[in-house]
Structure 1
Amino acid sequence: MTDYGHDLLFGSFITPSNAAPERVVALAQVSEAAGLDLVTFQDHPYQPAFLDTWTLLSYVAARTERVHLAGNVLNLPLRQPAVLARAAASLDLLSGGRVELGLGAGGFWDPIVAMGGERLTPGQSVTALGEAIDVIRGIWDEDGVGRLVVDGRHHRVAGAKRGPAPAHDIAIWVGGLKPRMLELIGEKADGWLPSLAYLEGLAQLDESNALIDDAAGGAGRDPRQVRRLLNVGGRFTPEPGGGLLVGPPRQWAEQLATLALGHGVSGFIAVGDDPEHLTVFGEEVAPATRELVAAERGR
């Protein structure tokens, strides 16, 4: 049983379709109205059917007031990390501290290369992501000594000016499932952001948490510094008993509470573009889950 003790976060994972851009923005506003903490969008810059995710995040920041925003996850091979760092800090300042940074190492290499990116092996992509985190944090550290120098294999800055610092400590959440990526998350990231649909059962969740914890300890970090988030799909049904996240809102709450208390997950991001689903998730599932977790933690 693992509970890292974080406050719970609830969010939405909205498709950034350009066929109806105002509907995408409206779903973000529905998420905020329902009380969700976070709105996220996938990032595939090579996909012409999608809006550019960073442009969308900036626009949605101006059309919302409270909710935090993140890519889920940003395509690092096509987003230069020093520029991304300044973009994130700028949007955080403009939005009043509402930006988090989800990063991905890439995976669809043919379209990435077609857009001008470098083809990397899985091992190289992990190395590149680690270097990018160093660059991003170095740019944000405007009080750091001297100009920033990172001499990586894939990402280099040679005397870059630092700053601006973001309005708050932007969390860096990393998506990935392979052991080397999990080790990197334990060593350097603020959070792990996988999708439930890609996990081979909850046992993989526990095994992955253990790898992250071991790597964090090896790097001199407390494993509790790494938040565990999860993209979750499912559907609401009138009757219980349909399996994991298939049932009424109360069943969802009980199952999410189990994921929090027994498997260390503290961020739940609902996948889907149905406004009613997001409303039920925010107004019914989220408060019920918080109540169950708080009661158990208080025992």
Structure 2
Amino acid sequence: MSDYGHPLEFGSFLTPAAADPTRVVALTVLAEQAGLDLVTFQDHPYQPGFLDTWTLLSYAAARTERVRLAANVTNLPLRPPAVLARSVASLDLLSGGRIELGLGAGAFWDAIEAMGAPRLTPGQAVQALEEGIDVIRRLWDATARGPIRVDGEFHRVVGAKRGPAPAHDVGIWLGAYKPRMLALTGRRADGWLPSLAYLGDGDLATGNRIIDEAALAAGRRPADVRRLLNIGGRFTDVGRGPLHGPAEQWAEELTDLALTDGVSTFILATDDPDDLRRFASEVAPAVREAVAAERAGSRVPPAAAGDPAPQGRRAGDPAPRGDHAGEPDGRSVSTSRTGMPAADEARSGGPARQSVTVADRPPFPVTPTPDDGVRRSSTVVWDEQTRPTGPAPDPDRTYTTHDLATGRHLIEVHDGLRGELAQIHDLIDQVEAGTMDVGTARSHINTMTMRQNNWTLGTYCESYCRIVTTHHTIEDRSLFPHLRRSDPRLAPVVDRLEQEHHVIHEVLEGVDKALVTLVSAPDGLPALREAVNLLSDTLLSHLAYEERELVEPLARLGMR
């Protein structure tokens, strides 16, 4: 067993397709909103169907705030290391320390040679990579005195000035498979980044052994080298093979890779937004919990994929939803209920309305997302004061971990819808700035979960059953009848929620109509902005109400 003790991280591996350049950026934003730690892009400068990866990294860094970014992996034969070092340091400074450096020695030599770089043998390519690492590290060492001199066979730097230094200690991760590259990883790199599809049985263990031995011989610790892994697979209701099955199967397999082979960063190769959401919301928390439990000495099966990730996340990661440990009264405090920057919230200019509270309810272990009462639009589509309330929780009742996961998952599903709302605001900002056409924005919105039928509880049912009861399916509309049957006191709440679903669909249709109008009427942007503001008011108010009334009943009544 090789567990190097690194904190677990989860990321995405995206295709920088030039045919639809806005899509890869939208997926990057989605990955951040879903809670992933890292977004990476292929780097094939000889591929005319791809965007230039370093241009894309710069654009993506400007469109995100938290997620870290990297090429996976940078093609060093076509990126001179001295220039690359300054590119990485510059973008790291501009992004607030969010850039990492994946490096490769080169593989597709016909294409590389066609772009003007000399063809190298495998041994020469490894030597050139090691010389490149030397150049990069020396240029980043801005505190050392004197100019840089590297007199290598393939890379020479004679008298170059040092700097700038990156904003943080940028990790150098090598895409390595063969013994010479693996040994170089152990001697000089901060991470090993292979792809699972290119590895055979036992290759991870063999690679770890070579890296560990090389690290020790160089006076380093094996734990100085993080183990990353590009993975691919399919989410299905029934298991059909490795990483081809339900989310809990993925969690079990990744947990084993973490504890047996020391992998601490899992990077999913997909351009499917639903897969990114599931990977972030269902697989990652379960793997984190299982690995944390094993490290603490009590193995917990990773099937409880609805539970939040344990404490001990990286600095800057979002806190787990539904617990809010550390708040004096156990409730969450949110500066932006849409997930947008505070500046975007502040510019809404909409009147604030008092949110409805329910008095005398005993505390429940899972805290619904509160309605902060901020409204962007002057239009009112329903009277919030007439919303019925359900029964108060029984103060003597106890809830199992499974019960709480059932209630908590509704909040996690709603967080996905809140993230989509933030995307809509971002799309409209791009249309207003002229960086996206109206048709593209409309296309993006029409693929979102909130545009599908029965989006609220239907999405919850579908997602939850994939996590908890994958051996059978449940119709989208089964949950409301179940709640009515199980506790008739909930009937007025369920009726009101169904009515609000219809209203929200009408509001969404208003957004779509405003987009269509904008195509022929360039002065229609204010009307579009107003339609989106109204969508924010209705959707966020509704989600908060639904969580307030249903989180405890879902924990108490389950999904039977």
TM-score (norm 1): 0.98
3-state SS of paired residue (1:183)? helix
3-state SS of paired residue (1:119)? coil
Matched letter for residue 10 of structure 2: F
1:212 and 1:38 map into 2 onto residues whose CA distance is 23
3-state SS of paired residue (1:117)? coil
1:151 and 1:8 map into 2 onto residues whose CA distance is 39
1:90 and 1:276 map into 2 onto residues whose CA distance is 33
Aligned to 2:446: none
Residue 223 of structure 2 corresponds to residue 234 of structure 1: no
Matched letter for residue 9 of structure 1: E
Aligned to 1:55: 55
1:268 and 1:100 map into 2 onto residues whose CA distance is 15
3-state SS of paired residue (1:158)? strand
1:131 and 1:230 map into 2 onto residues whose CA distance is 25
- Structure 1 residue 251: Cα displacement: 1.2
Superimposed CA distance per residue, residues 127-174 of structure 1 (whole angstroms, 9 cap, x where no aligned partner): 000000000000000011211111111011011100011000000000
Superimposed CA distance per residue, residues 225-258 of structure 1 (whole angstroms, 9 cap, x where no aligned partner): 000100000011112x322111111111111111
Q: Of Structure 1 and Structure 2, which has the larger fraction of its residues in helix? A: 2
1:261 and 1:107 map into 2 onto residues whose CA distance is 31
Listed as ranges, the matches of 1:37-186 within 5 Å are 37-186=37-186
Residue 290 of structure 1, aligned match among 264, 282, 288? 288
Matched letter for residue 228 of structure 1: R
Aligned to 2:188: 188
1:33 and 1:254 map into 2 onto residues whose CA distance is 25
Residue 216 of structure 2 corresponds to residue 224 of structure 1: no
Residue 264 of structure 2 corresponds to residue 257 of structure 1: no
2:208 and 2:145 map into 1 onto residues whose CA distance is 34
- Structure 1 residue 62: Cα displacement: 0.3
Matched letter for residue 227 of structure 1: R
1:101 and 1:30 map into 2 onto residues whose CA distance is 22
Aligned to 1:213: 212
2:178 and 2:255 map into 1 onto residues whose CA distance is 26
1:167 and 1:9 map into 2 onto residues whose CA distance is 20
Aligned to 1:275: 273
1:108 and 1:245 map into 2 onto residues whose CA distance is 28
Residue 8 of structure 2 corresponds to residue 5 of structure 1: no
1:52 and 1:256 map into 2 onto residues whose CA distance is 31
1:68 and 1:242 map into 2 onto residues whose CA distance is 33
Superimposed CA distance per residue, residues 27-60 of structure 1 (whole angstroms, 9 cap, x where no aligned partner): 1111111100000001010100000000000000
Alignment length, in residue pairs? Answer: 297
3-state SS of paired residue (1:13)? strand
Bigger RCO of structures 1 and 2 (CA < 8 A, at least 6 apart): 1
Matched letter for residue 31 of structure 2: S
Superimposed CA distance per residue, residues 183-241 of structure 1 (whole angstroms, 9 cap, x where no aligned partner): 0000000000000000012x1110111000000111110010000100000011112x3
1:187 and 1:79 map into 2 onto residues whose CA distance is 22
Aligned to 2:203: 204
2:241 and 2:208 map into 1 onto residues whose CA distance is 23
1:159 and 1:248 map into 2 onto residues whose CA distance is 56
1:245 and 1:33 map into 2 onto residues whose CA distance is 24
Residue 14 of structure 2 corresponds to residue 20 of structure 1: no
Show structure 2 runs of 5+ residues with no match.
Answer: 298-560
1:130 and 1:212 map into 2 onto residues whose CA distance is 15
1:168 and 1:136 map into 2 onto residues whose CA distance is 14
Aligned to 1:244: 242
Superimposed CA distance per residue, residues 248-287 of structure 1 (whole angstroms, 9 cap, x where no aligned partner): 1111111111100111100100001000001100111111
2:285 and 2:16 map into 1 onto residues whose CA distance is 27
Pair member with larger Rg: 2
1:207 and 1:178 map into 2 onto residues whose CA distance is 10
CA RMSD of aligned residues (A): 0.7
**Runs of 4+, deviation exceeding 6 Å:** none
TM-score (norm 2): 0.53
Matched letter for residue 161 of structure 1: K
2:171 and 2:293 map into 1 onto residues whose CA distance is 27
Matched letter for residue 146 of structure 1: G
Aligned to 2:500: none
3-state SS of paired residue (1:125)? helix
3-state SS of paired residue (1:28)? helix
3-state SS of paired residue (1:252)? helix
Show structure 1 runs of 5+ residues with no match.
Answer: none
3-state SS of paired residue (1:32)? helix
1:250 and 1:34 map into 2 onto residues whose CA distance is 18
Matched letter for residue 220 of structure 1: G
Identity %: 68
